[in-house]
Chain A
Amino acid sequence: MNLYELFNSLAADSARSIAGFQGELALCVTIVLLLLLRIPRLTSRIDSFFVMLIGSSVALYLAGPWRPLEQPSEIFTGLLVYDNFTVYFRTLLMAFAVLFAVFTKISGVPDRDAAPDIYALVLGATLGMCIMASANNMLMIFLGVEMASVPSYALAGLLKGRRQSSEAALKYAVYGAGAAGIMLYGISLISGILGTVHLPTMAVRLAELLQPANLESGLGSDTHMVLALGGMMIMVGLAFKLSAVPFHFWCPDVFEGATAEVNAFLSVASKAAALALLARVAIGFGYIPAPVLVETAPAASVETAALYNVADPPGEAPAAPAARTPAENAEAKAEAAVGFGPLPNREAQIAALAPAREFIWKLVAFVAVITCTFGNLAAYGQTNIKRLLAYSTIAQAGYMMMPVASAMVLAGTNAPAARDAISAVAFYAGAYVFMNLGAFAIVAFLRNMLHSEEIADYAGLLHRAPVTVICFCIVLVSLIGLPPLAGFFGKYQIFASLVDAKLWFVLFIAGLNTAISLYYYLRVVKIMTIDPEPDTRRPASMSFIPGTFIVLITAPIVILGVWPDSLNALARIATGQLF
């Protein structure tokens, strides 16, 4: 194959791929614009807020399609997957970027000088998160995680010169670097054993490795253990992004040190992307999806794949009927090396992956259970609202991980129920955007109003800012998961998935935790609504624009509570192609 053909096929693939990547490209352009516009004297007067707003709105528009995709497809030679799940989370992330822009403009943090930096960092992280949500390749997973993390470290230190903020950023960075290193080690172990970094191909090989005959004869038990350890290492990286115990330590310190605006970003966007990635990785290793449509011509894709996956040399005819990806072609060679035969069909492959699924659900359920319990207990006695919300995010991450465990239990036997479990995650992530953005927006606006982030200073605030307080109460009650708000349906679906999967212990812990969480959320409600107002409070009130923003963010929580089908239908479409 000569250079000309190579470039031709690369160009053809890229042209198709870019069509599914327009939103991300718009983000890239906006980042560059944000950074460059302030250099020429003429354009430096432009408020970067408008660049951010327009850029993220365009990205949101392009992130569509605004109707469901009929077929999932792989783009960029299999690096990313373009399906409804990708579209759902990407839309969510970019919608959040738009809301974030408006929110920061209203709250006045960052100021105009720092704004281009901050916005560029936020968009850069968002880009990484989009890649996390659509990753189809171990390298892209790592790349996405890092692209999302590194700007976050800088964002955490946004308050320059404030010691607490710098300390938080440093802790975050050290932690992140460590977690990333461990994750990369895990990725290289697993990829090394399976001989590819392409997730669907990895699953096929894993199935061969784990097929019942091998397990019975004890063949490759060392390999299984290295795979398990590698899997745990990848989980470390994911747990860090999810702020799951014991990799959550950065979270409360960072949340207290950083501004409420940054917290909103970290707790909503970062968490949604991490959940999407967790689901992707879990499904990627535990399930064989229906054959993926490859848009590139077969001959071309073999070569382009070789550019990226050196370990996958062009080989003979495809062995397995499923997952017709170029990387698949290495199959024959792999068998020859060790002697594990390919499996006859997709059903057999899925069945063979049962040990992988068991490992994943046990790992995820374990982490979820301790995360949830730790987060809720630690939130119990907090006096600072940001710290309380930090622990609440940790606990919420625990809840949101639970359906992934359910899905892994169910995937082998009951694919529709497994899909429902993942759509519970998608729904909760969607509702969570409004709940946590609402919470942090209110905290930020109250900070501007009261110059305090202590819960005790919110006493009797109902008389001073009734609308804000009512909205905050709605947000908090929704975070508990009480009806009739959005959080209730999220939590209900999570619990229902646990019931389907018969994970009684996890269900028990989740229920117990919800009961514990009643107290600390309601304590805030009680302090704001029925405790007496301190005499020392200076006269202050919530002005019109922040109030409107709060109401607009809170309204969907109520709407989704009364009419959950609006988001639920989307979540179901999003997960329809996963199983």
Chain B
Amino acid sequence: MAVGMLTAILSGFVLAILAPGLNRMVRGGAGWLLALLPLGLAISFASHAPLIASGNVFSESNPWVPALGVDLSFRLDGLSMLLSLLITGVGALILVYAGGYLAGHPQLGRLYAFLLMFMGSMLGLVLADNILLLFVFWELTSISSYLLIGFDHERAAARSAALQALLVTAGGGLALMAGLLLLGQAGGSLELSTLLLQADYLHSHPLYLPSLVLILIGAFTKSAQFPFHFWLPSAMEAPTPVSAYLHSATMVKAGIYLLARLSPALGGTDAWFLSVTTVGGVTMLLGAWLALTQSDLKRILAYSTVSALGTLTLLLGLGGTLAVQAAMAFLVGHALYKGALFLVAGTLDHQTGSRDVDRLSGLFRAMPITALAAGIAALSMAGIAPLFGFLSKELSYEAALRAPAAAWITAAAVTANILLAAAAFIVGIRPFVGKAVPTPKPAREAPPSLWLGSVVLASLGAVMGLWPALGTDGLLSAAGTAVLGETVSIHLSLWHGLTLALALSAVTLIGGVIVYVSRGLLRRLASRWESLGQFGPARWYELVLLGLNGLAGGQTRLLQSGYLRYYLMIVLVATVGLAGATLATRGHLVKPTDWSGLHFYDVGLVVLILMATMGTVLARTRLAAIAALGVVGYSVALVFVLFGAPDVAMTQFLIETLTVILFVLVFYHLPETPALSSSLARGRDAVIAATVGVLMTAFVLIATVVQYQPPISEYFAEHGLPDAHGRNLVNVILVDFRGLDTLGEITVLAAAGIGVYALLKLRVGKQRGTASAARRSELAGGVDDASLPIANPMRKEGDVP
């Protein structure tokens, strides 16, 4: 390409940054000016259309994150060309339209910026050849959609719609990312062009099914397929140009694009056929039915878009030359007439102040140009003969007739199309015919910026229908080739002879008129079923959010109570559970059998420790508890002495003394607190404490049996005399083997002593300032372990709203 694809994409982002400034400089006309970029891009793309149509593929690649195998690689083939033309062409019209629609809006510059950012992202999405790059642009379109839906944030509905749309599409995007990762893992590459060539290998790969499901979730959320369709009508809160551009012509087609793009790699299996056609079919029917039950112009269009997206999905699910041809033709046709109708709906809203079909009538006289465009687009949507909509509908009927389970699919397609034809009349014809009624604003013809878009799109639909050979064939063939992975050639023509498809078209048209006429009856019928709506997916979405909220709240209340004692309890129970499970399943206790080495003073010591521990727990005053704790500590030190670790014993004595002194110093100044826990809580704590004790005992018993390395005492005994020249092993250990340790201990003790001295001085100096109190309690917490009795009722944290 003359202009690099990367440049084309980036230009959108660059202009997005400049747009607000430009809007300030060129008051009023900025839309026209900004539209030059997409227009230029569209012309540039179009100039390559003949080459693409003749089967060429352009690709370019720049290194990005080589270590991850991610390159900025882009690929322009028939499919991406088709969508790029739509994105840039419709984009230019939308920018012009937005300038007129929101003229004088203080945030217009921001809207331009978001629109251009979206355009760049969408271009990136359809041009990317690397699946990771594709994902990046995919999520960028979701984010720009969020910004655009929330643009008009005066209304609460717009705000929640924006969040809903983003949650659904970005959540689906995450599924897509997981699916793409799996696909990349299965295919061994992140490049689409490589992946698409390995269909057979991928189909038999064990990761095929998970990746297919995840990718489909991503595509279905983006393209508003059942059961994720509910976000699209809510997203109609966005300003109309946004709805026309994102939620009809381009962004919602991203899911369709992905399905089409990946169908050579993923398609052609039963899983693909069943899931894609079923979801597509259900969406098609549901969307068409819901469209008819609405009275808001934009909501009618939104549901009919859902239905059209369902049709596209259905066609792609069917696969095969004919269905893909139909899908490509329908993709273009739909973008043209639906874009035009959305713009008309916006124009009507802008010029009359109402979007309610029941309040608009007889506007042809006041707004002839708009009416003309609307009429052509509506007729195209209804599938009337020389227009492009007719061609695409004809093709899809033919595809449906040849599909497996043809009767069902054809019946569904005809039903949906009848309903959609009626919807087309309601939107495009009904407001302009009949008797003129007064509207909130007196109706006047719109300025050129507001009718240009719909006129261009509607007349394109007419022109392409009348002269299908006008470059369309080649482009659609190239797109079909890209989707199918094999060369196809599409020849559209208005007259196929007297075929069954033609008969079905006629049936559709007649049915559409009948439904249109009896729409009042249908709507009354529908209102009776309205209560069913509360079981719809939108309700599920709310329920999921509510449920998550409840689950989160409950979990947090349960675990994060704000009380240290409960925290410790959870940790202890978890430890006992995990370690105990390991011990119980894998270990076996070795009962000590040899009691001969036991002396009476060992037994005495053990009894002393046990009694002192009980004393600590049961003591009524703090000082008594501290004293008892001290006894425990000294007794443990005696154990060290008895079992030949005098240096450790020495340290233990010192630490114990220091701890007791500190405790006394700190606790002496604390107020006495009454016993706060109930006897039930005490019992529970006793049980937990006992379990922990049992576990630790078992653990110690096992640990002592294990002996891999020789005991360290042998080493000392062996090396004491030759290396350190000392016969008194205790002395040798303290001053020779662990001389530096001893030095360190002395230093630490000295430092701690200074600390204690400073604390005492500080207390004398300052009268019980809060600062020193806080420091003292910290010090106490730091020195002792978790046995610090915390009786203060801690403030309960407001963890959950």
CB within 8 A of B702: which of A225, A333, A511, A530? A225
CB-defined interface of B274-295 with A at 8 Å, one 1/0 digit per residue?
0000000000000000000000
Contact A167 B174 (CB under 8 A): no
Q: Given the complex, which residues of A lie within 8 Å of B737, measured CB to CB?
A: 310
Contact A167 B162 (CB under 8 A): no
CB within 8 A of A313: which of B135, B136, B150, B715? B715
Contact B786 A496 (CB under 8 A): no
Given the known interface contacts A228-B582, A530-B159, the answer about A174 and B65 at a Cβ–Cβ threshold of 8 Å is no
CB-defined interface of A231-244 with B at 8 Å, one 1/0 digit per residue?
01000100000000
Q: Given the complex, which residues of B lie within 8 Å of A250, measured CB to CB?
A: 567
Q: Given the complex, which residues of A lie within 8 Å of B784, measured CB to CB?
A: 177
B708 contacts A by Cβ under 8 Å: yes
Contact A380 B568 (CB under 8 A): no
Q: Given the complex, which residues of B lie within 8 Å of A539, measured CB to CB?
A: none
Contact B785 A249 (CB under 8 A): no
Contact A195 B708 (CB under 8 A): yes
Contact A484 B136 (CB under 8 A): yes
Contacting residues of chain B (705-726) with chain A, CB-CB under 8 angstroms: 705-706, 708-710, 712, 715, 719
Contact A232 B579 (CB under 8 A): yes
B181 contacts A by Cβ under 8 Å: yes
Contacting residues of chain B (656-707) with chain A, CB-CB under 8 angstroms: 699, 702-703, 705-706
Q: Given the complex, which residues of A lie within 8 Å of B559, measured CB to CB?
A: 246, 249, 374, 378
- Expressed in whole angstroms, the minimum distance between the Cβ of A42 and any Cβ of chain B is 24
Nearest residue (CB) in A for B590 is A222
Contact B67 A569 (CB under 8 A): yes
Main SS class of interface, B: helix
B553 contacts A by Cβ under 8 Å: yes
Given the known interface contacts A153-B782, A174-B786, the answer about A338 and B163 at a Cβ–Cβ threshold of 8 Å is no
Most buried by B among A311, A384, A420, A518: A518
Interface-side segment among A78-86, A130-138, A444-452, A485-493: A485-493
- Expressed in whole angstroms, the minimum distance between the Cβ of B666 and any Cβ of chain A is 12
A69 contacts B by Cβ under 8 Å: no
Cα-based distance from A247 to B590 in the complex (angstroms): 32
Given the known interface contacts A171-B564, A171-B567, A222-B706, the answer about A519 and B583 at a Cβ–Cβ threshold of 8 Å is no
Contact B770 A161 (CB under 8 A): yes
Contact A377 B551 (CB under 8 A): yes
B518 contacts A by Cβ under 8 Å: no
A229 contacts B by Cβ under 8 Å: yes
B177 contacts A by Cβ under 8 Å: yes
A531 contacts B by Cβ under 8 Å: yes
Contact A310 B552 (CB under 8 A): no
Contact B715 A310 (CB under 8 A): yes
What is the count of residue pairs linking A and B with beta-carbon distances less than 8 angstroms? 240
- Expressed in whole angstroms, the minimum distance between the Cβ of A163 and any Cβ of chain B is 8
Nearest residue (CB) in A for B733 is A310
Nearest residue (CB) in B for A188 is B703
Contact B706 A223 (CB under 8 A): yes
Q: Given the complex, which residues of B lie within 8 Å of A182, measured CB to CB?
A: 575
Contact B150 A529 (CB under 8 A): yes
Given the known interface contacts A381-B553, A383-B801, the answer about A477 and B143 at a Cβ–Cβ threshold of 8 Å is yes
Interface-side segment among B96-104, B164-172, B303-311, B491-499: B164-172
Interface-side segment among B74-82, B607-615, B773-781: B773-781
Q: Given the complex, which residues of B lie within 8 Å of A225, measured CB to CB?
A: 582-583, 586-587, 702
Contact B786 A193 (CB under 8 A): no
Cα-based distance from A212 to B181 in the complex (angstroms): 35
A507 contacts B by Cβ under 8 Å: yes
Q: Given the complex, which residues of B lie within 8 Å of A477, measured CB to CB?
A: 143
Contact A515 B143 (CB under 8 A): no
Most buried by A among B66, B555, B567, B578: B567
Contact B782 A173 (CB under 8 A): yes
Cα-based distance from A514 to B549 in the complex (angstroms): 16
Contact A530 B782 (CB under 8 A): no
Cα-based distance from A252 to B799 in the complex (angstroms): 9
Contact B587 A222 (CB under 8 A): yes
Q: Given the complex, which residues of B lie within 8 Å of A228, measured CB to CB?
A: 582, 586
- Expressed in whole angstroms, the minimum distance between the Cβ of A356 and any Cβ of chain B is 15
Contact A223 B586 (CB under 8 A): no
A169 contacts B by Cβ under 8 Å: yes
Q: Given the complex, which residues of A lie within 8 Å of B210, measured CB to CB?
A: 504
Cα-based distance from A209 to B709 in the complex (angstroms): 11
Q: Given the complex, which residues of A lie within 8 Å of B715, measured CB to CB?
A: 310-311, 313
Cα-based distance from A500 to B68 in the complex (angstroms): 13
A200 contacts B by Cβ under 8 Å: no
Nearest residue (CB) in A for B570 is A246
Q: Given the complex, which residues of A lie within 8 Å of B564, measured CB to CB?
A: 170-171, 174-175
Q: Given the complex, which residues of A lie within 8 Å of B740, measured CB to CB?
A: 307
Q: Given the complex, which residues of B lie within 8 Å of A153, measured CB to CB?
A: 778, 781-782
Given the known interface contacts A225-B586, A249-B560, the answer about A500 and B185 at a Cβ–Cβ threshold of 8 Å is yes
Given the known interface contacts A160-B771, A225-B582, A568-B65, the answer about A518 and B171 at a Cβ–Cβ threshold of 8 Å is yes
Most buried by A among B178, B181, B570, B579: B178
Q: Given the complex, which residues of B lie within 8 Å of A334, measured CB to CB?
A: 708-709
B433 contacts A by Cβ under 8 Å: no
Contact B65 A157 (CB under 8 A): no
CB-defined interface of A275-319 with B at 8 Å, one 1/0 digit per residue?
000000000000000000000000000000001001101000000
Q: Given the complex, which residues of B lie within 8 Å of A526, measured CB to CB?
A: 150, 159, 162-163
Q: Given the complex, which residues of B lie within 8 Å of A496, measured CB to CB?
A: 68, 181
CB-defined interface of A155-193 with B at 8 Å, one 1/0 digit per residue?
001001101101101110111011001100000010011
Contact A511 B552 (CB under 8 A): no
- Expressed in whole angstroms, the minimum distance between the Cβ of A570 and any Cβ of chain B is 11
Cα-based distance from A173 to B705 in the complex (angstroms): 34
- Expressed in whole angstroms, the minimum distance between the Cβ of B143 and any Cβ of chain A is 7
B800 contacts A by Cβ under 8 Å: yes
Contact A377 B571 (CB under 8 A): no
Cα-based distance from A477 to B173 in the complex (angstroms): 14
CB-defined interface of A216-234 with B at 8 Å, one 1/0 digit per residue?
0000111101101100100
CB-defined interface of A534-577 with B at 8 Å, one 1/0 digit per residue?
00000000000000000000000000000011001100100000
Contact B567 A175 (CB under 8 A): yes
- Expressed in whole angstroms, the minimum distance between the Cβ of B730 and any Cβ of chain A is 15
Q: Given the complex, which residues of B lie within 8 Å of A412, measured CB to CB?
A: none
Contacting residues of chain A (348-391) with chain B, CB-CB under 8 angstroms: 374, 377-384, 387
Q: Given the complex, which residues of A lie within 8 Å of B703, measured CB to CB?
A: 189, 226
CB within 8 A of A519: which of B548, B555, B574? B548
B751 contacts A by Cβ under 8 Å: no
Contact A167 B143 (CB under 8 A): no
Given the known interface contacts A313-B719, A381-B800, the answer about A530 and B162 at a Cβ–Cβ threshold of 8 Å is yes
B132 contacts A by Cβ under 8 Å: yes
B408 contacts A by Cβ under 8 Å: no
Contact A170 B181 (CB under 8 A): no
Contact B174 A515 (CB under 8 A): yes
A256 contacts B by Cβ under 8 Å: yes
Given the known interface contacts A173-B781, A381-B552, A482-B143, the answer about A160 and B67 at a Cβ–Cβ threshold of 8 Å is no
9 pairs of residues in contact across A and B, judged by CB atoms under 8 Å: A175-B564, A181-B786, A189-B703, A226-B702, A253-B797, A337-B708, A500-B185, A522-B166, A565-B67
Closest 10 CB pairs of A and B: A195-B709, A380-B552, A483-B136, A249-B567, A530-B153, A173-B781, A178-B786, A377-B552, A161-B770, A530-B150
Which residue numbers of B lie inside 8 Å of A, CB to CB?
A: 64-68, 132, 135-137, 139-140, 143, 150, 153-154, 158-159, 162-163, 166-167, 170-171, 173-175, 177-178, 181-182, 184-185, 210, 545, 548-549, 551-553, 555-556, 559-560, 562, 564, 567-568, 570-571, 574-575, 578-579, 582-583, 586-588, 590, 699, 702-703, 705-706, 708-710, 712, 715, 719, 737-738, 740, 770-771, 774, 777-778, 781-782, 784-786, 788, 790, 794-795, 797-801
Contacts A379-B552, A420-B67, A530-B153 supplied; 14 other A-B pairs, CB < 8 Å: A192-B709, A228-B586, A247-B571, A249-B571, A334-B709, A337-B709, A377-B552, A377-B556, A378-B555, A384-B798, A482-B173, A495-B177, A523-B163, A530-B158
